[in-house]
Structures are given as C-alpha cells and as structure tokens.
C-alpha cells in the first residue's frame, strides 16, 4: 500500500483538472477513540459559528468508523478547536459538471446559495459573471482587509496574480487558493531500461529526441522481436497541451504555446494557437505521425490513456508533470516486471529554445454568499490550514488529517504505510488554501531526496513518497524558468462566452487534421483567418481591455 496516498490524491486532483498538490496531514479524532482531542483555540467561537457549504464528492472519498460528511475528523476538529460547525447545503457528484449545473439552477430559480461555494478554475470563467450579476456573492476586499491574519495577507501579497481569477469590474469576488506555481509543469518521462538496452542517451536537443523516437519505434526496445511500440505517448482527445501526455515541449522548442494567451514584446496579449511557430511545430508533429512515432489513434486518447500507453510498456516517452512518479508510474504493472522509468529535462529546439506549459497561480476559489457575516471565522480556519501548507511545526495537522485514514499509531510510532491508507479524508476540509510557493527555501521534495528528514513533514513525505516521485518533482524544478504560463486567467469576456466553443472546435479539428495528414499544413493559415473572423479578433480586444 506504500505510495497509495499519492496515487489517490493526484488522481483526485486530476479528475477535476485541478492540478494543485496540497500536502495532506491531520489530527487524531476524539469521537473515534483514536486520539485525544486538541485543546480549544484561544479564540474559539462561542457560541459556535455554523457555515453552510457545497461539496462535489469523489467516488473514492469514502468514510469509515461511522463517520459522515458532517461528522468526521475534519469537521470535529473545526468544531472542537475553533467552534466552527460545517453543514452541507448541497452535495453533488464530482462528474459531468454537476457543481456548475447546480449553481446555474440556483441562480435561475432564486434559491439561496450556500455560505461558502468552491469553484474550480474550469468553472469560474463561465460562472463568475452570472454570480456577480445575480448580486448573490460578496466582494471580499473589505473582509480580507479586516480579518485576514498577517501570514495570510503575506501569502497573497507574494502571489498577487491569483486575484486575477476572481476579479470582475475592478472588484474581487472570491478568495483564491494559491498554487505552488509549478505542480503542473511537465517534464519528459523515458523508459530508462529501453535507453540502456539500445545503448542510447537521454536527448539534449530536439533532433536527438527524434532519433530516440525512431529507435523506440523501430529498434525493438522491449526485446520481444515485434514492432509493437511507439516513441511518444500523446493525448490528442482534448488538446495537444493537456495536463498529461502533452506536446508543449515541441511547441516551446519553436516558440509560443498554443491554447493559451501569451504576452508579446509590446505588452499585448495574443492567442498562442494562431502564431506562426505553432504551425512549424504541427508540421514536425505531423512528420512524427507519418513515421509511426505516435500511436495511430492518439487523437482519441485522453490524458490517462496516453499515460497508460507509456506505463504499460507500449510507448517509450511521455511528457507529464513530475508527480507522475507517484501516479500512475509508481503503480504501473510493468514496474513489477523490470521496467525502469526516469525523469529528464526537456531538450532544446533548433535555436536553443526550451519551453513548456506552466502551472496556474490558482486552481480554484471560494465564493461567499452576500449577507454572510462570519468572515472572521473563515479566516480563522484559513489561517490554520495555511500554517500546515507552510510546514508550521505547531500545526494541528502536522501528522495527518485523521487516524485510521492517512495515518495510524503503532507501537508508539506514527505509521503512514498500512492497509487501506487513504488521503481522501482531506476532501472534507471546509477550506484548502493551497500551497503557496516558497521563494527562499529548498523544496521539501529536494530535502527528503537528499536525506534531510528532520521535521514531521519531511518524515511523512519520506515514509509515503517513492524516490521516483521525488526525483520527478526535482527534475521539474530544474527548468522552472522555461515555464510559459497562460497570461489571461480572468473570467470569460462577452464574446468569449458565446463564441469560444466554436473557436475551440475549429482549433481542435484543424490541428488534428494537420497532424494526421488529412489536410495540408497551409490550412493553418485559413484557420487563422476563420478564427479571427468568427470572434477571435474581438475576443483579443476584449482580453486586452479587461
């Protein structure tokens, strides 16, 4: 069961497209008889503050020991320590945009919103304008100024871009999570045993990478005497730059990233997918497809299918985040049969360029019902959780969220590797503020990898994370300066809200047809014309004026 907490946590994050990695830990539960209750906080609210919320629950977020969604180690901690009682006004399944649908229904019917509503970065652009227009959510600026503790204010001061995700009409309408700014940054994962068998080295240039793709496709790298492997596992179903199985290293090697807004030298934002360097990258990707370096059906493969193609030994290379060393690679079947996975930095393009998609500054935000009057309780809870994210040794959550869930006591020691270990108890947090990047200190993954295991946070990571996971995160850090981040992270513009589905369809079809060789590369020029004519030109103006 070792490393299962990483697998479940990352699978959960990936399932909703929220690629923040909030390091989990917690407190023994009084009601299950598995530990002493914490002493009440000096500022515990009396009478208790009741806060209603909404939960999008995962199918794997199961509770134990008779716990319920409103009575579990997390909710009991909030009640006993802070005097905050959490009740769930809505519970929906975390699939098929259930939360967004529930919010739209409430707005259209006049139903009162929960006190606290969490929306992901996928939901906010579409819903923020409607929430503000309904006059149902509060502007958080005054409450933040009045109640946010010093370290909370400092975290936002150091990461001001997160406010862009919830800003509309010059006002801030939510409290964003803060990403560590690198968790989604991808790297190359390569079958090291295939490299060794073919006596090859990891690529330093794009040409060397292409030679490796050829060897992994035509050189029988698995030694079974069959031509049954491909060089690169690519996910083309959603986009060529999704969160796993991406081609961002190829686009970055030639210039700008597609599918996002990039800032030019003149300071204006331009949409990456209509830039000439993207055409050049697509031409090379089409050549790779023609030579058989990609799976014939890559255009139907989603992110997990592409990862599986690599993990199951049918592809020699995949691009994806450093955390893949925990999941899915740490749990793959070939790993038990001698497969060796190794993370590598991206190679340089023809002009020495290196580039990759970058992590978002925030992957979700909390919104508050207009008229909700207990923001003091919100920031008391937020501060406690932020302390854990900052590796506060005095945090109540230093060892785990719930005994019997993500840790147990055995022979007087805290144990993290035991049957049925799970981190999903963290799904029941009222607030998860994220993991603000630390601009000064060495990452915890780097410290643990080199054997610095002193505090409880390092001890827990050392007990639960594989060396492959740690190494992947470290390799990801090596090329932080090459991250090409989306420069527009605000709500949808007026034209975007009506025309973006059409433009996205046009973009997807054009790119795949070029790579599949179904249309000439010059169709890219017609795509630019149509994209601009069908609303892209107006959207560009709106994005720059917002």
The C-alpha angle with vertex 258 and arms to 257 and 262, in degrees rounded to 5, equals 60
Q: Where do the domains of the chain lie, and which CATH numbers do they carry?
A: 49-180+361-439 (3.40.190.10), 186-357+483-491 (3.40.190.10)
Q: Calculate mean pLDDT across residues 30-49.
A: 65
Confidence band, pLDDT 50/70/90 cuts, at residue 439: low
Tally the residues of the chain.
Answer: 546
Greatest alpha-carbon pair distance for the chain in Å reads 73
Contact 541, 268 (CB under 8 A): no
pLDDT 10s digits, 288-298: 999 999 999 99
pLDDT 10s digits, 203-235: 999 999 999 999 999 999 999 999 999 999 999
**Better-scored residue on pLDDT, 331 or 478:** 478
Alpha carbons 151 and 169: distance in angstroms, whole number: 27
Question: Tokens 């190829």 belong to which residue?
Answer: 250
Stated as kind and residue range, the H or E segment containing 317 is strand 315-321
Whole-number pLDDT of residue 11: 36
Whole-number pLDDT of residue 332: 66
Q: Compute the mean pLDDT over every residue in the chain, rounded to the nearest whole number.
A: 90
Q: Which has the closest alpha carbon to 105: 86, 92, 120?
A: 92
Confidence band, pLDDT 50/70/90 cuts, at residue 178: very high
pLDDT 10s digits, 361-373: 999 999 999 999 9
Q: Which has the closest alpha carbon to 22: 308, 390, 346?
A: 390
Q: Which has the closest alpha carbon to 213: 190, 192, 231?
A: 231
Question: What are the tokens at 277?
Answer: 């360097």
**Better-scored residue on pLDDT, 163 or 24:** 163
DSSP for residue 167: E
Whole-number pLDDT of residue 35: 44
């Amino acid at each position: 069961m070792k490393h299962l907490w990483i697998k479940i946590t990352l699978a959960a994050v990936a399932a909703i497209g929220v690629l923040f990695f909030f390091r989990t830990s917690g407190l023994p539960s009084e009601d299950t008889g598995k530990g002493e209750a914490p002493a009440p906080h000096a500022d515990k609210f009396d009478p208790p503050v009741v806060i209603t919320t909404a939960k999008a629950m995962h199918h794997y977020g199961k509770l134990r020991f008779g716990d319920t969604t409103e009575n579990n180690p997390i909710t009991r901690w909030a009640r006993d320590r802070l005097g905050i009682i959490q009740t769930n006004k809505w519970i929906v399944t975390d699939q098929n945009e259930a939360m967004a649908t529930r919010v739209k229904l409430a707005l259209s019917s006049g139903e009162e919103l929960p006190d606290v509503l969490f929306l992901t970065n996928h939901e906010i652009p579409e819903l923020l304008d409607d929430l503000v227009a309904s006059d149902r959510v509060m502007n958080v600026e005054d409450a933040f100024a009045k109640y946010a503790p010093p370290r909370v204010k400092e975290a936002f001061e150091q990461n001001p871009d997160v406010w862009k995700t919830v800003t509309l009409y010059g006002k801030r309408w939510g409290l964003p999570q803060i990403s560590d700014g690198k968790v989604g940054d991808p790297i190359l994962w390569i079958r090291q045993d295939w490299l060794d068998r073919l006596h090859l080295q990891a690529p330093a240039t794009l040409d060397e990478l292409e030679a490796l793709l050829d060897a992994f496709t035509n050189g029988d790298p698995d030694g079974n005497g069959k031509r049954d492997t491909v060089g690169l596992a690519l996910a083309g179903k959603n986009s060529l730059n999704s969160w796993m199985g991406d081609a961002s290293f190829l686009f970055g090697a030639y210039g700008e990233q597609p599918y996002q807004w990039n800032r030019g030298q003149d300071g204006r934002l331009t949409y990456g997918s209509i830039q000439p360097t993207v055409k050049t990258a697509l031409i090379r990707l089409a050549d790779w497809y023609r030579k058989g370096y990609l799976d014939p059906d890559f255009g139907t493969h989603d992110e997990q299918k592409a990862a599986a193609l690599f993990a199951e030994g049918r592809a020699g290379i995949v691009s994806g985040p450093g955390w893949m060393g925990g999941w899915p690679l740490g749990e793959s079947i070939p790993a038990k049969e001698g497969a060796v996975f190794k993370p590598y930095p991206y190679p340089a393009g023809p002009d020495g360029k290196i580039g990759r998609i970058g992590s978002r500054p925030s992957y979700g935000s909390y919104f508050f019902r207009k008229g909700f009057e207990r923001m003091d309780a919100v920031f008391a809870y937020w501060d406690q959780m932020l302390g854990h994210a900052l590796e506060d040794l005095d945090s109540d959550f230093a060892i785990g969220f719930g005994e019997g869930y993500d840790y147990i006591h055995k022979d007087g020691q805290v144990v993290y590797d035991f049957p049925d270990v799970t981190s999903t108890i963290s799904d029941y947090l009222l607030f998860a503020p994220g993991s603000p990047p630390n601009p000064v200190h060495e990452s915890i993954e780097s410290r643990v990898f080199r054997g610095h295991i002193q505090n409880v946070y390092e001890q827990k990571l050392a007990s639960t994370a594989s060396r492959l996971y740690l190494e992947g995160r470290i390799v990801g850090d090596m090329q932080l300066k090459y991250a090409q981040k989306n420069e527009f992270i605000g709500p949808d513009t007026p034209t975007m809200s009506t025309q973006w589905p059409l433009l996205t369809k046009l973009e997807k079809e054009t790119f795949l047809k070029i790579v599949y060789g179904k249309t000439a590369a010059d169709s890219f020029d017609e795509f630019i014309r149509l994209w601009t004519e069908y609303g892209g030109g107006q959207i560009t103006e709106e994005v720059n004026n917002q």
